[in-house]
Structure 1
């Protein structure tokens, strides 16, 4: 019995010895520190062996997206551009980087650079929230390698940094100032073009870009004539224009909004199709969606005794006569307002002066507004005082005009470059060329 136990003990000892040798030689069971060193070395090789650098994007947890261009050298320096400012998009910055094992193998930007701006907690630096900045990161864990792409995640705020190897043409575009030019192109375009849209068959889909918040929004009017549905996305600049992070048009992903230098305009590219970004003379959606009691606008009027410039309307003659009537009595019109003051009542007021004293003459009406059809009824002079009746000889031409309704509420187009804000008007249903109009308040 003792011999048998001794034999078993020798067999087990030999088996354990064999297993220990196998573990040491098996690369799958290699020492964790060695495996980590190899991983960091291969990651470093991936970063530095890109002859034309990387197109990069940073997406924060708040949904903001920024574009960068990066070149990593083997000496621990990274050279980059950023679309965050004009200076950063045109001036190559340089800082140090290193790879290190934190909780996961990580890429650390350990001196201040364009990436650091997004993580800076000071509002004055990046316009973010004090104490948080734009919720960027300075060190990132490697998450995924796939072909020419590596995805990293911030170790503090979980910002996603994606690096894609650039080709020679793309490198030349970044280093040649095209990223900075994209920022300038967009600013210039928005200053020169308003009421943007893309065509969707016979309909117009409003196209809006908010440069400060870096968002692009598409909005359409639904078939009910009152509901506006919108989709929005953050965007980043590219040498070709801007790139929305997640935006759809007719259920297709918008891949880019590309700048055309020959036409000084943009084209929206989706899967297999393109749509020109165009400018409309007036806002795309009807005025009745924004005009009325407790809406964006409730008043159509002037700011002086002159109507807004660049508009041709039969009402211009009425206004000229009204001014002449007041001038003939040594009085002067200061301004006029047609205003919705409640869910059922509207007023028409003429503000005027006599010497150094100011007065107002007004009428009131009951009204109904069914989409863009405005009907006035129960006209009453002297809403706030007796001045309309007192000045009736001068005001009669305006009174007769306002009683000709019903009217159609509409945007009014001006040909004058001096008029830079939307105008509104009430157009006689019986005469499309005749409308009382003014600035909207």
Structure 2
């Protein structure tokens, strides 16, 4: 008990000492927290507006995708912006609003819907992200640190990062004259992108602006197979910059640079500048192991992917696309509408049977319709198909609708090829009797 009393007395004595010193307490800061925050807001406000040529900005979302912006903050609360989000945002300058807020820390906010909001839009159809979350980006950013010519900000909700660097007079002129738009236009024209090295060694490229990936295809160093290499990229005034290099044919490619004189990409390969050209024609890769040797062995099927109705992939001819779209449209007219989901062809090399399977969705339920074809295969990779047989009731129900496609397959011969310029290993079938008809898909198991 005595110990407790002594302990209590010590505490009381300490309290008396503490409160007796309160009148003599010196503040660690000479200003209140509110005053310090207001001072920071004033400094950031001046820094944002005083950049004579605006700011280059890099927005890295919670999903890891990087977007380029040009931002010019005005004193009236307006901000002019351009972005590499898509070709339109790169070429059409937008005026939105901005403000600084005194939240728990100094915060930059974009109140009105703008190009900054598009990666954060919860509708996946806007930015290619997941429904409900988009690309996990922000529209309010806390100031983390600043230097004389740069500012780093952190998203308040989704963990995105916004870095601002003062633009030069030349950069401001370039971006407003459409440099970023030109870079995107060239890569997204729809034509294939190809770089050809000595010895007729070709690399194909394809840009995915939603995922911000550039995918390269080329033949492996041993010549046996087709390599598919996706890389995340960002856009700058100089061109397409890869997060990690592509290594093909003993060479390393880190970026696709922009040649403003001829309006196209080029790559530095050793000491040479090699052009990356647009090619409207298909490129076929022919490694030592041909595609017919892996169909039914290493890969079970060739899948015409979901979305091909509206966005065909390379190797799907205009005629096939037209017929595929017509079948999809007719299925939508049924009393209970049906969605044409996808289609694949699978190969049983033991019985020389091709299974053509159409998959549809009705009332949120996936149904399959299977058609069997016997085939022969020549040494040159030419498949000759017999007439298809409907295996199940679903196949019989869909036969009339799919007949305009099947008429080009029944009894026809098709040369199989690896098709370049896609985002996945792709196989195509090209009719020998009807050159206007071909279909393609992703090799899958």
Instruction: Please state which band the TM-score falls in when normalised by the shorter chain.
Output: 0.5 to 0.7
Unpaired runs of 5+ residues, structure 2, are: 1-13, 304-344, 355-372, 390-412, 421-426, 441-445
Give the Cα separation in 2 of the matches to 1:122 and 1:375. Answer: 44
SS at match of 1:87: helix
Give the Cα separation in 1 of the matches to 2:417 and 2:215. Answer: 24
Whether the 8 Å CA contact 1:181–1:239 is kept in 2: the answer is no
Closer/same/farther in 2, CA of residues 187 and 125 from structure 1, 3 Å limit: closer
Give the Cα separation in 1 of the matches to 2:59 and 2:179. Answer: 19
Pick the aligned partner of 1:343 from 349, 360, 367: 349
Asked whether 1:267 is paired with 2:266, we answer: yes
Following superposition, the deviation at residue 33 of structure 1 comes to 2.5
Give the Cα separation in 2 of the matches to 1:131 and 1:106. Answer: 24
Q: Which has the higher contact order (CA 8 A, sep 6+)?
A: 2
SS at match of 2:81: strand
Unpaired runs of 5+ residues, structure 1, are: 1-8, 298-338, 349-361, 385-401, 403-407, 414-420, 427-437
SS at match of 1:158: coil
Q: Name whichever of 55-64 and 198-207 sits farther off.
A: 198-207
Give the Cα separation in 1 of the matches to 2:224 and 2:236. Answer: 36
Which residue of structure 2 lines up, in the alignment, with residue 258 of structure 1?
A: 257
Pick the aligned partner of 1:242 from 225, 240, 243: 240
Following superposition, the deviation at residue 224 of structure 1 comes to 5.2
SS at match of 2:142: strand
Which residue of structure 1 lines up, in the alignment, with residue 205 of structure 2?
A: 207
Whether the 8 Å CA contact 2:245–2:252 is kept in 1: the answer is yes
Please give the residue correspondences for 1:81-96 in structure 2 after superposition, counting only pairs within 5 Å: 81-96=82-97
Closer/same/farther in 2, CA of residues 133 and 261 from structure 1, 3 Å limit: same
Please give the residue correspondences for 1:244-323 in structure 2 after superposition, counting only pairs within 5 Å: 244=242, 246-250=243-247, 256-269=255-268, 274-278=273-277, 282-284=283-285, 286=287, 288-289=290-291, 292-293=295-296, 294-296=300-302
Following superposition, the deviation at residue 146 of structure 1 comes to 4.2
Following superposition, the deviation at residue 282 of structure 1 comes to 2.8
Whether the 8 Å CA contact 1:411–1:424 is kept in 2: the answer is no
Whether the 8 Å CA contact 2:416–2:429 is kept in 1: the answer is no
Whether the 8 Å CA contact 2:128–2:211 is kept in 1: the answer is no
**Rg larger in structure:** 1
Whether the 8 Å CA contact 1:255–1:270 is kept in 2: the answer is no
Closer/same/farther in 2, CA of residues 239 and 424 from structure 1, 3 Å limit: same
Asked whether 1:171 is paired with 2:172, we answer: yes
Whether the 8 Å CA contact 1:232–1:247 is kept in 2: the answer is no
Deviations 1:98-136 (A, max 9, x none): 222323321111222221222222345445433223322
Please give the residue correspondences for 1:33-432 in structure 2 after superposition, counting only pairs within 5 Å: 33-123=34-124, 125-188=126-189, 190-191=190-191, 193=192, 196-197=194-195, 199=197, 204-223=202-221, 225-226=223-224, 230-244=228-242, 246-250=243-247, 256-269=255-268, 274-278=273-277, 282-284=283-285, 286=287, 288-289=290-291, 292-293=295-296, 294-296=300-302, 341-344=347-350, 346=352
Closer/same/farther in 2, CA of residues 283 and 114 from structure 1, 3 Å limit: same
Give the Cα separation in 2 of the matches to 1:277 and 1:227. Answer: 23
Whether the 8 Å CA contact 2:284–2:417 is kept in 1: the answer is no
Following superposition, the deviation at residue 166 of structure 1 comes to 0.5
SS at match of 2:116: helix
TM-score, scaled relative to structure 1: 0.58
Closer/same/farther in 2, CA of residues 270 and 84 from structure 1, 3 Å limit: farther
SS at match of 1:36: helix
Superposed CA RMSD: 4.8
Whether the 8 Å CA contact 1:52–1:167 is kept in 2: the answer is yes
TM-score, scaled relative to structure 2: 0.57
Closer/same/farther in 2, CA of residues 96 and 424 from structure 1, 3 Å limit: closer
Give the Cα separation in 1 of the matches to 2:177 and 2:233. Answer: 22
